Amino acid sequence: NLINTLFVALHPELTRLFANRDLQRMRGLYTTSIAIVVWSAIPTLLVLGFFGPAVIAFWTKSAAIVSVAMVVWCGMEAVLASLGQNAALPSYAANRPIAIFLFFLPCNALALIVAAFLVGPNALIVIPVCFAITNLVFAFYAFYLGTRVVESSIADVAIEAFSPNTLWLKLRSAVR
């Protein structure tokens, strides 16, 4: 929900910046949103790995027992879906949702079809793995489209977004 809130909050601002052709500010907000998703994923996955199975067992009164791997893969799927959603932000801001939709729908359909053929009573982990893989492919595509909208190279945006210093410096400057 935090990542969805980020998307909803930034979408109108990125649309305004795109309309005003303020690509430098747009690129800055874009890389910050990607950095937030990337760097919030690490603690999220660690917490899921350590506490996820116990929480699910408690919540379902032990009716559902899941492995650490299952919980972490479900977390990875959610993180990659969030990454793809935020990577697509500039495309939505530039009113180009069709390009996103035409790639997103086949990715998810493929994950569903492959998972349906591979899943079994002892192989439920296939479902989040299939969706995580296709969400990763979609995130790369959305990232490619997003960097085209902000008129930057994939390498420049990736280096800035995946650097721990970027998020730290941007959060520090926002507090001041």
Q: Taking a C-beta distance cutoff of 8 angstroms, is the pair 134, 108 a contact?
A: yes
Ranges of the chain whose pLDDT falls below 70: 1, 122, 167, 170-171, 174-176
Q: Taking a C-beta distance cutoff of 8 angstroms, is the pair 95, 57 a contact?
A: no
Alpha-carbon gap, residue 88 to 38, rounded angstroms: 15
Within the chain, how many helices (H) and strands (E) appear? Answer: 8, 0
**Quick one: DSSP state of residue 125?**
T
**Identity at 46, one-letter amino acid code:** L
Alpha-carbon gap, residue 51 to 66, rounded angstroms: 11
pLDDT tens string 24-37: 999 999 998 888 88
Residue 11's closest CA among 21, 26, 24? 26
pLDDT at residue 168 in the model: 72
pLDDT at residue 118 in the model: 87
pLDDT at residue 65 in the model: 78
pLDDT at residue 176 in the model: 61
pLDDT tens string 143-176: 999 999 999 998 998 888 888 777 677 667 766 6
**Quick one: DSSP state of residue 63?**
S
Contacts of residue 15, Cβ cutoff 8 Å, sequence gap at least 6: 92, 93, 94, 95
pLDDT at residue 143 in the model: 94
Predicted TM-score of the model (pTM): 0.85
Q: Taking a C-beta distance cutoff of 8 angstroms, is the pair 80, 132 a contact?
A: yes
pLDDT at residue 175 in the model: 62
CB neighbours (10 Å) of residue 86?
A: 27
Dihedral through CA 52, CA 50, CA 170, CA 18, nearest 10? -30
Q: Taking a C-beta distance cutoff of 8 angstroms, is the pair 51, 72 a contact?
A: no
Contacts of residue 71, Cβ cutoff 8 Å, sequence gap at least 6: 48, 49, 52, 53, 56
Alpha-carbon gap, residue 170 to 163, rounded angstroms: 11
pLDDT at residue 125 in the model: 86
